[in-house]
Amino acid sequence: MTDTSTTTPLVEIRNLSFARGDRMIFDGIDMDIERGKVTAIMGPSGTGKTTLLRLIGGQIKPLTGSIKVDGIEVTKLSRSALFQLRKRMGMLFQNGALLTDMNVFDNIAFPIREHTQLSEKMIRTLVTMKLQVVGLRGARNLMPSELSGGMARRVAMARAIALDPMMIMYDEPFTGQDPISLGVLVRLIRELNDTLGLTSIVVSHDIKEASSISDTIYLLSGGKVVAHGSSKALHESGSEWAKQFMNGLPDGPVPFHYPAIDYAEDLLAAGNK
């Protein structure tokens, strides 16, 4: 199901293919990330969700196809133009990826200091505001090693919005969180998106959380987009893929087994050794 909106999408992916060695990770996928919306990207482990974020960020180049971010073709950018574009993108890595030799304050100040000539006083004000948004103003002097996983992700969020980007990409922000911290992160992602006018891409395994915050969901599997639409539409859709994933069934179109030779043959081969 496609709903045509009036504005052009912020991220437009057309016919994207990417391979690691001989393995096709993506095989001609199309995707639109709408402006101002939260889009969830879901799929089984190893389908290339992280890879997709890296492709959008221009860290790796696709085999074929086009990726446009805010109308700019990422795949053809020079390094310096890419860096200009990245200043307008925030990315949250799976474990936060905070710089371990700096405290919380300096971590958030880091991109501001690197990219602007603002005075220390100004930076202090800005960082304090970002810390207030994620509720960690009191933790500004802690080192990353002193933070819990959930706190580290919130600090990383504050750092991702330090330069007021137009979009943020979250790589599995919910894994390994207790229910409370999970609730906090869910609320934060939605709030940041709506109050700062961002566009958010959330990669996740968590069906419940992802469907509760996202406006649109893309289901990836086997190098293809197997279903997309609002979470309600996916829940009600007749597609086998959507059914398996949304209901967490162990077997279905996504096989439980990694591709292998026939089981009986495998056992016989072992017997012949």
Binding site for another protein (CB under 8 A): 57, 59, 83-84, 86-87, 89-91, 93-95, 97-100, 110-111, 114-115, 159
Tokens of 113: 């200091």
175 binds ligand ATP (CB under 6 A): no
**Best CA proximity match to 189, nearest among 180, 198, 178:** 198
46 binds ligand ATP (CB under 6 A): yes
76 binds ligand ATP (CB under 6 A): no
Cβ of 58: how many Cβ atoms within 10 Å? 21
47 binds ligand ATP (CB under 6 A): yes
Nearer to Mg ion, 19 or 233 (CB): 19
Alpha helices in the chain (DSSP H): 49-56, 79-86, 104-115, 120-134, 149-160, 179-195, 207-213, 231-236, 240-247, 263-272
Partner whose binding site includes residue 115, from Mg ion, ligand ATP, another protein, none (CB under 5 to 8 Å by kind) = another protein
Phi first, then psi: what are they for 227, rounded to 5°?
-160, 150
Provide the minimum distance between the beta carbon of 251 and ligand ATP in the complex, in angstroms, as a whole number.
Answer: 19
Tokens of 171: 């790589």
Which of 50, 66, 95, 239 lies at the binding interface for ligand ATP (CB under 6 A)? Answer: 50
Contact 219, 229 (CB under 8 A): no
Point out the residue whose Cβ comes nearest to Mg ion.
Answer: 50
Provide the minimum distance between the beta carbon of 159 and another protein in the complex, in angstroms, as a whole number.
Answer: 8
Interface positions, 216-255, toward Mg ion (CB under 5 A): none
Interface positions, 41-100, toward Mg ion (CB under 5 A): 50
Residue with tokens 């996202």: 214
> Exposure of 210 by Cβ count < 10 A (0-12 exposed, 13-18 middle, 19+ buried)?
buried
Nearer to Mg ion, 50 or 128 (CB): 50
Nearer to ligand ATP, 49 or 130 (CB): 49
Stretch that binds ligand ATP, among 2-10, 41-49, 108-116, 237-245 (CB under 6 A): 41-49
Tokens of 70: 């805010």
* 154 CA to centre of own chain: 15
Provide the minimum distance between the beta carbon of 50 and another protein in the complex, in angstroms, as a whole number.
Answer: 10
Provide the minimum distance between the beta carbon of 18 and Mg ion in the complex, in angstroms, as a whole number.
Answer: 14
Partner whose binding site includes residue 97, from ligand ATP, another protein, Mg ion, none (CB under 5 to 8 Å by kind) = another protein
Interface pattern 32-51 for Mg ion (x via CB under 5 A): ------------------x-
Which residues are CB-contacts of 231 (< 8 A; sequence separation ≥ 6)?
Answer: 40, 210, 211, 212, 214, 217
Partner whose binding site includes residue 48, from ligand ATP, another protein, Mg ion, none (CB under 5 to 8 Å by kind) = ligand ATP
Quote the DSSP letter at residue 159.
Answer: H
Cα-based angle 122, 128, 131 (whole degrees, multiple of 5): 145
Report the interface residues with Mg ion, using CB under 5 A.
50
